[in-house]
Every structure is written in C-alpha cells, then in structure tokens.
Chains A and B, each alone.
Chain A
C-alpha cells in the first residue's frame, strides 16, 4: 500500500508537468486543428536554454527557467510567423502544416545537438529542502514544488483564457476563426499569442521535469511531447481542465506501470491510453466539440 501511494504521488508530480506541456498542444490544436510536432522540441529547448544560461551567466536556476520561458515563448512565435503563417495565408492542406512542424522539430533538435552537445547533461535541483516523510511515504521537496508551481501556472493560464480580454479572443477564434476576424479580432496576433503561451508553459515544464530527473538531452522532447499529447487527447483537446486531468492520469498510470509491470512499460502506457481514448471516446473526457464524422 505504501508503495502504491508512493507511486501515486510520484505520478502526480510528473503528471502535473505533463499537463503543462499538454496545455500547449491543446491551445494550438484548438485554434489551428494542428498537431504541433515542434512542441516537444520547444520543451527541450526550454530546458536546455535554462541550463545554458544557468551555467553561463551564474544566475539562480529559477531565474534561468524564467528567462528560458520567455525565450521559448518567443521561439514559438517565431515558428508561427516564419513557417506556419505563410501556410495559413496560402490555405494549404493540413498535411503540409503537419510536415512543416516535423521539419521545424528536426531543425530545432539538430541545432540543439550541435550547440548544446548531444550528451546527457546534469541539471541542478530547483528546490532542495530535503524530504518530507509521512507514514512511510516520502515526498521529495522538488516533487512538492513541481506540483505547486505547475498548479499555480495552470491557474494563471485558466484565468488568462477564461477571464481576460485576450482569452475571450482566443476562445472566439477557437470557435470560428472567420467570424472572430469579422468581429475585429486580430486572428494572427491571437495565434501568435497562443504560440507564446504554449512555448512558455512548455519551457517551464521542461525546467521542472529536468530538475526532477536531474538530466537534459536534446531528444528529450520527443517522448515527453507524445505523452503530453496523449494527455491532451485524453482530457479532451482544447479544454484546460481536461489537460490537467489528462496529464495527471498519464503521469500516474505511467509511474504505476513502471513499478508494477516493469520499467520497460513506462513509455508505452501513454500510447495505449491514447489509442484506447481515440477509439472509445475520441472527444476525450472534457471535450465538447464533436469530431467531424464521415
């Protein structure tokens, strides 16, 4: 039982970080109907960049992650402006967008390998107040803070999307791009803003997860990206609370599988969940919009 609770808590901590990545997928998919394969690379960029300026500028790791957040957000905007916006203007087919994001991900991962090195590098712990032990269940302070930071960020994101003016514009664009643009919403700005939010939250997730596992490497974005995407689909893509619940479920089931089935199953659980959800309930747990069926 103690093991179970222990794994549950481990899963919750990592799941919160997944949900931060998942939000990025969810927001972008909601507006553009596009699976952004470059998102995992942006997440890896966030973690790498934080480490590089932490080492290079001798600042605290928390500040480094904040700077990385801005950088990754800007990277998201640059991706949108240089590669995706021209495609939107041309009204190209969905597959062109998909391939473009794969191309971007190739570029980012390989540039990171060239400039930051392909080896796995150590990442400092973000918080270290030691362990808290309750009835045999040990909670790392890092895990606790990971949960807390992720929760606060999700709260901020929810407020931005639900209460602010730009959030209203995001939701309007999500429902109907053309109508939103007729109402005077600058759709391209909204999309760029969404890419900024997605990049920033991915970078924070990158920093949190890297300080949890204490490692970074250029290709770290691929697995995390796919898991977060499963989380987004499970929760219902386009829904913020869905992303949190989805992320938590993926995180918990992953750490359960690693413990009870063997560590090799850790990475496959997310895909099994993904496929089951898509077959049984494609709209996800909180999804509102029906998928266009033929």
Chain B
C-alpha cells in the first residue's frame, strides 16, 4: 500500500486515538477560558449548531443517498415548537426540546413517505417543496406563529436552576454536549445494522433490495432520524438568536446545510465539523471581499464540485476494517 500523507495521519491518529481525543476534548472545553469576545463565542456556537444539522443531514444524504433541500423546514419546526412551548406554556427546557424533536421527526416521517414512489431528482424536489410549505404555514397560521411578525424574546433555556446565556458560557457548553450526543448517536447508527443498510441503499438500491433490505422502511427511517436531529438543533437555535420569523429558515439555509455536508465530504463524520467551520466562518472571515463575498461563495461551490466533488475530507479510510465483536467471535468459533 502506498504510504501517502493521509495514510500516515490516519495511522498516527488511530494509534494515539485516546490522546488525540483527549486533546480535542480539552481544547474544546477550554475555549471559554481564552476570553474571546461574545461575537466570536456566538460564531463558535453557530458552527456547533450547523455541525449538528450537517450530521443529521449526512445520515440522510451522505449515508442513505437521499438529497434533501428542505432541511430548513425541520430546523424551523424545531425552533418554532421550542419558542411557542416556552412562551405559551412556560415548559421546561428539556420537555420543550423533546417535543420539538418529536414533532420534527413526525414531519420527517410524513416527508419520507413519498420515497415509496419517488427517488433521485423527484424526491429532492419534494423536499424543496416541503421546506417552502413550512415557510408558508408559518406565514399564514397567524394565530399560532404570529405570521410575518415573527416571535421575539424567546426565553433562554434553563437546567437545574441555572439559565444558559452567552456570558456565562452556558450556551457554549450546552452546544458542546449536544454536539457530542449527536456525534455519538450518528456514530452508533452508522456503525450499526441500520447504518450498513443505509450505505447499501446509497450504493445500489436494487442490490440492497435483493439482499433483503426493506429500502423504503430504511429511507423513511433516515428521514425521521435526520429530521429529529434538525429539530433538536432548531430548538437550541431559537433561544440563541432570540428572534425567529419565516425568513430565518429560507431556502438558503437548506442549501447552506447541504453545502456543509458536501464541502466536508458526504458520508464522513469528520467532514461535517470541518465543513461547518469553513462555511459558517466564511462570511465573517471574508468581510474584506465586501459585497462580493457571496459571489465568491458561489464560485467556491462550483470550483469545489468541479475539482473535489467528494469533499475536502471525503477520502475512504484505508485503515483495516474493524470487524464487529460479535462477528469476530463467530468467525473464531467457526475457524
């Protein structure tokens, strides 16, 4: 095997896995100690939220191969559910979040149902329509969502008597916890039977069916999981920005999430973090470009698709495949 840079890095990281993880975790936990300005802290939190969204969409697009252009819809459902539960019912943080996740997942189930009949481009279009319809519902259901006026003054989340704010770094740590939970959940799913089914469906749906995978069921499941994660991210996003309206969750947000997944590298988890950092930080870092920065953003997308469509970190791992313990035992017993 050719020992190039990526192989060496991967090998190194897998050998010192524990140390690497400890360094990363300590670094992330220590971020608030450096005394960054609230603006920078806010950007860190945004990166975290969009990494969560990207991890969710990655399950659907990266692993299961169903492209969604309507993820802003789930994001919006989560945010609105949280805001309304908080303001109208004064619900506790965790309850509001769980309800947001459940409702979002329910919508994900409904959106997943067309996969019975549709695939590819047509499914993408349905998801796009879904995102727009969520916006239209928000605008028109005035008695509930206050329509175009939006919802302001969303109360900050509280847990065990402490209220999370930007200044006491509660938001940051809550984001870290959520990011870790999402990451672990996605890792567990991807490396389970379900995750292998997803990958099989992406590679070749017909072959997957022939292997006894109920493709529709798994596609709907991917939609549900993805929507669940997006809903959780929305519920967390609402109190941080404090004001939401129908334009907070437009088509551009859906594209943004999909861009993160693609720039980072579809079907990899490491890519989601790098993608979120690059795409969310880009408009701030590129302020010197002034009005041209979104032109450059578009150019970036095109150049990326042309020269590195698999994403920045989208290589296939060349480390030896980790055989699951149960399978290993079976093999040893057989041998």
Which residues of A come within 8 Å of B, CB atoms? 29, 33-35, 83, 86-87, 90, 92-100, 102-107, 110-111, 113-114, 222, 226, 229-230, 233, 262, 264-265, 267-268, 271-272, 274-275, 278-279, 282, 291-294
A282 lies within 8 A of B262 (CB): no
Q: Is the CB of A83 within 8 A of B302?
A: yes
CA distance A96 to B262 in the complex (A): 9
Judging by beta carbons under 8 Å apart, are A107 and B121 in contact? no
Given contacts A262-B140, A294-B119, 8 further A-B contacts (CB under 8 A): A95-B266, A100-B306, A102-B255, A104-B302, A106-B295, A107-B298, A271-B133, A278-B122
Q: Is B118 an interface residue (CB 8 A)?
A: yes
Q: For A93, list chain B residues within 8 Å (CB).
A: 309
- Assess the A274–B305 pair: CB atoms within 8 A: no
Kindly list chain A residues whose C-beta atoms are within 8 Å of the C-beta of B298.
102-107, 110
List residues of chain B with CB under 8 Å of any chain A CB: 61, 67, 114, 117-122, 124-126, 128-130, 132-133, 136, 139-140, 147, 205-206, 209, 215, 251, 255, 258-259, 262, 266, 291-292, 294-295, 297-302, 304-306, 309
- Per the bound structure, the CA–CA distance linking A35 and B121 in Å amounts to 7
Q: List 26 A-B contacts (CB under 8 A).
A: A33-B121, A83-B302, A94-B121, A95-B262, A98-B124, A99-B258, A99-B301, A99-B305, A103-B302, A104-B302, A105-B298, A106-B297, A107-B302, A110-B291, A222-B251, A229-B125, A262-B140, A267-B136, A268-B140, A271-B133, A272-B133, A274-B129, A275-B129, A278-B118, A279-B114, A279-B117
Inter-chain contact B305/A92, CB cutoff 8 Å: yes
Which residues of the partner chain A approach B262 to less than 8 Å between Cβ atoms?
95, 99
* Shortest Cβ distance from residue A271 to the other chain B in the assembled complex, whole angstroms: 4
A24 to chain B, nearest CB (A): 16
Chain B residue nearest to A273 in the complex (CB): B129
* Chain A at the B interface: SS class: helix
Task: Write the nearest CB–CB distance from A158 to chain B, whole angstroms.
Answer: 25
Q: Are A294 and B301 in contact (CB under 8 A)?
A: no
Q: How far is the CB of A258 from chain B (nearest CB, A)?
A: 12
Q: Which A residues lie within 8 Å of B300 (CB)?
A: 103
Interchain CB contact (< 8 A) of A264 among B128, B139, B251: B139
> Inside 8 A of A233's CB, which chain B residues have their CB?
125
Distance in angstroms between the alpha carbons of A94 and B61 in the assembled complex: 13
Measured between alpha carbons, how far is A113 from B205 in the docked complex, in Å?
43
Docked Cα-Cα span, A80 to B238, in Å, equals 40
Query: In the bound complex, how far is the Cα of B303 from the Cα of A83, in angstroms?
Result: 9
B305 CB contacts on chain A under 8 angstroms:
87, 92, 96-97, 99-100, 103
A274 to B304, CA, bound (A): 31
**Residues in B whose Cβ lies below 8 Å from that of A279:** 114, 117-118, 126
Task: Kindly list chain B residues whose C-beta atoms are within 8 Å of the C-beta of A102.
Answer: 255, 298, 301
* Whole-angstrom distance between the Cβ of A39 and the nearest chain B Cβ: 13
- Check if B306 sits within 8 Å of A87, measured CB to CB: yes
Bound complex: CA A73 to CA B122 (Å): 26
The 9 closest A-B pairs by CB, nearest first: A103-B301, A106-B298, A268-B136, A107-B298, A294-B205, A103-B298, A110-B294, A96-B305, A103-B302
